[in-house]
Structure 1
Protein backbone atom coordinates (compact mmCIF):
# COMPACT_ATOMS: atom_id res chain seq x y z
CA UNK A 1 0.00 0.00 0.00
CA UNK A 2 1.37 3.40 -0.95
CA UNK A 3 0.96 6.37 1.35
CA UNK A 4 0.89 9.87 -0.05
CA UNK A 5 2.70 12.82 1.42
CA UNK A 6 -0.40 13.52 3.51
CA UNK A 7 0.75 11.73 6.66
CA UNK A 8 -1.34 13.61 9.23
CA UNK A 9 -5.07 14.27 8.98
CA UNK A 10 -6.19 17.88 8.67
CA UNK A 11 -7.84 19.49 11.68
CA UNK A 12 -10.52 22.21 11.54
CA UNK A 13 -10.40 22.37 7.75
CA UNK A 14 -12.99 21.49 5.13
CA UNK A 15 -11.72 18.66 2.96
CA UNK A 16 -12.85 18.13 -0.64
CA UNK A 17 -12.69 14.35 -1.01
CA UNK A 18 -13.16 14.43 -4.78
CA UNK A 19 -10.30 16.91 -5.15
CA UNK A 20 -8.08 14.92 -2.77
CA UNK A 21 -8.56 11.75 -4.80
CA UNK A 22 -8.17 13.25 -8.27
CA UNK A 23 -4.43 12.84 -8.79
CA UNK A 24 -4.26 9.12 -8.01
CA UNK A 25 -4.85 6.89 -11.02
CA UNK A 26 -2.72 3.78 -10.39
CA UNK A 27 -2.11 1.34 -7.57
CA UNK A 28 -3.50 1.66 -4.07
CA UNK A 29 -3.23 4.93 -2.16
CA UNK A 30 -4.46 5.24 1.40
CA UNK A 31 -4.03 8.18 3.75
CA UNK A 32 -5.70 9.60 6.89
CA UNK A 33 -8.37 12.30 6.69
CA UNK A 34 -9.39 12.70 10.33
CA UNK A 35 -9.01 11.33 13.83
CA UNK A 36 -12.27 10.76 15.71
CA UNK A 37 -11.63 9.83 19.34
CA UNK A 38 -9.72 6.54 19.07
CA UNK A 39 -10.64 5.94 15.42
CA UNK A 40 -9.18 7.07 12.13
CA UNK A 41 -11.00 8.00 8.93
CA UNK A 42 -9.02 7.25 5.76
CA UNK A 43 -9.47 7.74 2.04
CA UNK A 44 -8.47 4.84 -0.18
CA UNK A 45 -8.06 5.13 -3.94
CA UNK A 46 -7.81 1.74 -5.64
CA UNK A 47 -7.04 0.67 -9.20
CA UNK A 48 -5.95 -2.85 -8.26
CA UNK A 49 -6.87 -5.62 -5.81
CA UNK A 50 -5.72 -5.44 -2.20
CA UNK A 51 -4.30 -8.53 -0.46
CA UNK A 52 -6.36 -10.99 1.56
CA UNK A 53 -6.05 -10.03 5.22
CA UNK A 54 -7.88 -9.63 8.51
CA UNK A 55 -7.80 -7.30 11.52
CA UNK A 56 -7.61 -9.07 14.91
CA UNK A 57 -8.31 -5.95 16.97
CA UNK A 58 -10.80 -3.83 15.03
CA UNK A 59 -13.85 -3.81 12.82
CA UNK A 60 -13.47 -1.94 9.51
CA UNK A 61 -16.17 0.04 7.71
CA UNK A 62 -16.09 0.96 4.02
CA UNK A 63 -18.11 3.79 2.45
CA UNK A 64 -17.88 4.09 -1.34
CA UNK A 65 -17.76 7.64 -2.73
CA UNK A 66 -16.71 6.85 -6.32
CA UNK A 67 -17.01 3.74 -8.46
CA UNK A 68 -17.89 0.29 -7.20
CA UNK A 69 -15.89 -2.11 -5.04
CA UNK A 70 -16.08 -5.78 -4.32
CA UNK A 71 -15.52 -6.88 -0.74
CA UNK A 72 -14.48 -10.52 -1.01
CA UNK A 73 -15.17 -12.63 2.08
CA UNK A 74 -14.39 -16.33 2.39
CA UNK A 75 -18.00 -17.36 1.80
CA UNK A 76 -19.30 -14.59 -0.50
CA UNK A 77 -18.59 -11.33 -2.31
CA UNK A 78 -20.35 -8.07 -1.47
CA UNK A 79 -20.70 -5.41 -4.17
CA UNK A 80 -20.80 -1.81 -2.94
CA UNK A 81 -21.68 1.15 -5.14
CA UNK A 82 -21.37 4.88 -4.55
CA UNK A 83 -23.16 5.83 -1.34
CA UNK A 84 -23.21 2.30 0.08
CA UNK A 85 -21.48 1.20 3.28
CA UNK A 86 -20.46 -2.17 4.76
CA UNK A 87 -18.80 -3.14 8.05
CA UNK A 88 -16.44 -6.10 8.37
CA UNK A 89 -16.14 -7.46 11.92
CA UNK A 90 -12.71 -8.10 13.40
CA UNK A 91 -11.08 -11.44 12.52
CA UNK A 92 -13.02 -11.83 9.25
CA UNK A 93 -10.72 -12.59 6.29
CA UNK A 94 -11.38 -10.21 3.42
CA UNK A 95 -9.98 -8.22 0.54
CA UNK A 96 -11.25 -5.27 -1.47
CA UNK A 97 -10.96 -4.64 -5.19
CA UNK A 98 -12.37 -2.13 -7.63
CA UNK A 99 -15.06 -3.45 -9.96
CA UNK A 100 -13.86 -1.35 -12.85
CA UNK A 101 -10.75 0.78 -13.28
CA UNK A 102 -10.92 2.82 -10.08
CA UNK A 103 -12.77 3.22 -6.79
CA UNK A 104 -12.58 5.75 -3.99
CA UNK A 105 -13.61 4.65 -0.50
CA UNK A 106 -13.68 6.07 2.99
CA UNK A 107 -12.66 3.63 5.73
CA UNK A 108 -13.38 3.93 9.44
CA UNK A 109 -11.21 1.87 11.79
CA UNK A 110 -9.35 1.88 15.09
CA UNK A 111 -6.24 4.06 14.99
CA UNK A 112 -4.35 1.07 16.43
CA UNK A 113 -5.59 -1.24 13.69
CA UNK A 114 -3.53 -4.38 13.24
CA UNK A 115 -3.49 -5.98 9.79
CA UNK A 116 -2.50 -9.60 9.23
CA UNK A 117 -1.72 -10.31 5.56
CA UNK A 118 -2.56 -13.80 4.30
Structure 2
Protein backbone atom coordinates (compact mmCIF):
# COMPACT_ATOMS: atom_id res chain seq x y z
CA UNK A 1 0.00 0.00 0.00
CA UNK A 2 1.62 3.14 -1.31
CA UNK A 3 0.32 6.40 -2.64
CA UNK A 4 0.12 6.58 -6.44
CA UNK A 5 1.20 9.83 -8.07
CA UNK A 6 -1.00 10.23 -11.15
CA UNK A 7 1.24 12.85 -12.79
CA UNK A 8 4.28 10.59 -12.46
CA UNK A 9 2.34 7.62 -13.84
CA UNK A 10 1.10 9.66 -16.81
CA UNK A 11 4.68 10.81 -17.48
CA UNK A 12 5.77 7.15 -17.70
CA UNK A 13 4.07 6.58 -21.09
CA UNK A 14 3.34 8.49 -24.28
CA UNK A 15 1.24 6.15 -26.41
CA UNK A 16 -2.21 7.55 -27.16
CA UNK A 17 -5.42 5.53 -26.79
CA UNK A 18 -3.51 2.79 -24.94
CA UNK A 19 -4.81 2.28 -21.37
CA UNK A 20 -2.35 1.54 -18.56
CA UNK A 21 -3.50 -0.12 -15.36
CA UNK A 22 -2.28 1.50 -12.14
CA UNK A 23 -4.35 -0.35 -9.54
CA UNK A 24 -7.06 -2.94 -8.88
CA UNK A 25 -9.94 -2.56 -6.46
CA UNK A 26 -11.80 -5.85 -5.99
CA UNK A 27 -13.02 -6.74 -9.51
CA UNK A 28 -12.37 -3.22 -10.82
CA UNK A 29 -9.33 -1.68 -12.45
CA UNK A 30 -8.03 1.88 -12.29
CA UNK A 31 -6.63 2.97 -15.62
CA UNK A 32 -4.74 5.96 -16.97
CA UNK A 33 -4.90 6.96 -20.62
CA UNK A 34 -3.82 9.75 -22.91
CA UNK A 35 -6.12 10.51 -25.80
CA UNK A 36 -6.09 12.84 -28.79
CA UNK A 37 -8.52 13.12 -31.68
CA UNK A 38 -11.39 10.71 -32.13
CA UNK A 39 -11.71 7.11 -30.95
CA UNK A 40 -14.24 4.55 -32.21
CA UNK A 41 -17.97 4.16 -31.58
CA UNK A 42 -18.56 1.28 -29.17
CA UNK A 43 -20.48 0.12 -26.12
CA UNK A 44 -19.93 -2.29 -23.25
CA UNK A 45 -22.81 -4.72 -22.87
CA UNK A 46 -22.22 -5.64 -19.23
CA UNK A 47 -20.06 -2.91 -17.73
CA UNK A 48 -20.33 0.76 -16.81
CA UNK A 49 -17.31 3.05 -17.25
CA UNK A 50 -16.24 6.06 -15.21
CA UNK A 51 -14.04 8.67 -16.89
CA UNK A 52 -12.31 11.42 -14.90
CA UNK A 53 -10.57 14.20 -16.80
CA UNK A 54 -7.23 15.00 -15.18
CA UNK A 55 -6.01 17.35 -17.93
CA UNK A 56 -7.83 18.96 -20.84
CA UNK A 57 -11.40 18.60 -22.09
CA UNK A 58 -13.11 15.36 -23.08
CA UNK A 59 -15.94 15.36 -25.59
CA UNK A 60 -18.02 12.25 -24.89
CA UNK A 61 -20.15 11.68 -27.94
CA UNK A 62 -23.43 9.83 -27.66
CA UNK A 63 -25.74 9.19 -30.61
CA UNK A 64 -28.11 11.97 -29.51
CA UNK A 65 -25.70 14.51 -27.98
CA UNK A 66 -22.15 15.32 -26.89
CA UNK A 67 -21.28 15.89 -23.23
CA UNK A 68 -18.33 18.17 -22.51
CA UNK A 69 -16.30 16.92 -19.54
CA UNK A 70 -13.78 19.41 -18.20
CA UNK A 71 -10.69 18.99 -16.06
CA UNK A 72 -11.68 17.82 -12.58
CA UNK A 73 -15.03 16.40 -13.76
CA UNK A 74 -16.25 12.84 -14.26
CA UNK A 75 -18.78 11.15 -16.49
CA UNK A 76 -20.25 7.68 -16.09
CA UNK A 77 -21.22 5.83 -19.25
CA UNK A 78 -23.82 3.19 -18.37
CA UNK A 79 -23.54 -0.32 -19.76
CA UNK A 80 -25.03 -0.74 -23.21
CA UNK A 81 -24.78 2.97 -24.14
CA UNK A 82 -22.93 3.58 -27.39
CA UNK A 83 -20.27 6.26 -27.01
CA UNK A 84 -17.20 7.72 -28.66
CA UNK A 85 -14.64 9.70 -26.63
CA UNK A 86 -12.85 12.48 -28.50
CA UNK A 87 -10.83 15.67 -28.12
CA UNK A 88 -10.79 18.91 -30.10
CA UNK A 89 -8.09 21.07 -31.67
CA UNK A 90 -5.36 18.41 -31.35
CA UNK A 91 -5.47 18.66 -27.53
CA UNK A 92 -3.96 15.76 -25.59
CA UNK A 93 -6.31 14.81 -22.76
CA UNK A 94 -5.30 12.79 -19.70
CA UNK A 95 -7.90 10.47 -18.20
CA UNK A 96 -8.39 8.22 -15.21
CA UNK A 97 -10.89 5.41 -15.83
CA UNK A 98 -12.53 3.06 -13.38
CA UNK A 99 -14.04 -0.10 -14.85
CA UNK A 100 -14.46 -3.83 -14.31
CA UNK A 101 -11.55 -6.10 -15.14
CA UNK A 102 -13.76 -7.79 -17.75
CA UNK A 103 -14.34 -4.58 -19.74
CA UNK A 104 -13.08 -4.93 -23.32
CA UNK A 105 -11.40 -1.79 -24.65
CA UNK A 106 -13.81 -1.29 -27.55
CA UNK A 107 -16.59 -3.61 -26.41
CA UNK A 108 -17.63 -5.97 -29.24
CA UNK A 109 -16.09 -3.70 -31.90
CA UNK A 110 -12.76 -4.79 -33.35
CA UNK A 111 -10.76 -1.84 -34.68
CA UNK A 112 -7.13 -0.95 -35.36
CA UNK A 113 -7.21 1.09 -32.13
CA UNK A 114 -8.47 -1.82 -30.01
CA UNK A 115 -6.07 -2.85 -27.22
CA UNK A 116 -6.32 -6.29 -25.67
CA UNK A 117 -3.67 -5.91 -22.97
CA UNK A 118 -3.16 -3.02 -20.60
CA UNK A 119 0.39 -2.60 -19.32
CA UNK A 120 0.68 -2.29 -15.56
CA UNK A 121 2.71 0.75 -14.56
**What TM-score bracket applies, with the shorter chain setting the length?**
0.7 to 0.9
Give structure 1 stretches of 5+ with no counterpart. 1-11
Equivalent residue in structure 2 for 1:38, among 8, 11, 27: 27
Structure-2 residue corresponding to 1:117: 109
Change (3 A) 1:76 1:23: same
Matched ranges for 1:1-118 at <5 A: 12-22=1-11, 24-25=13-14, 27-100=16-89, 101-114=91-104, 115-117=107-109
Q: Which has the higher strand share?
A: 1
* Shift of residue 26, structure 1, vs aligned partner: 5.6
How does the TM-score come out when normalised to structure 1? 0.82
2:16 and 2:33 in contact (8 A); partners too: no
Give structure 2 stretches of 5+ with no counterpart. 111-121
Residues in 2 aligned to 1:62 and 1:94: alpha-carbon distance in whole angstroms: 12
* Shift of residue 18, structure 1, vs aligned partner: 1.3
Residues in 2 aligned to 1:26 and 1:111: alpha-carbon distance in whole angstroms: 21
How does the TM-score come out when normalised to structure 2? 0.80
Alignment length (residue pairs): 107
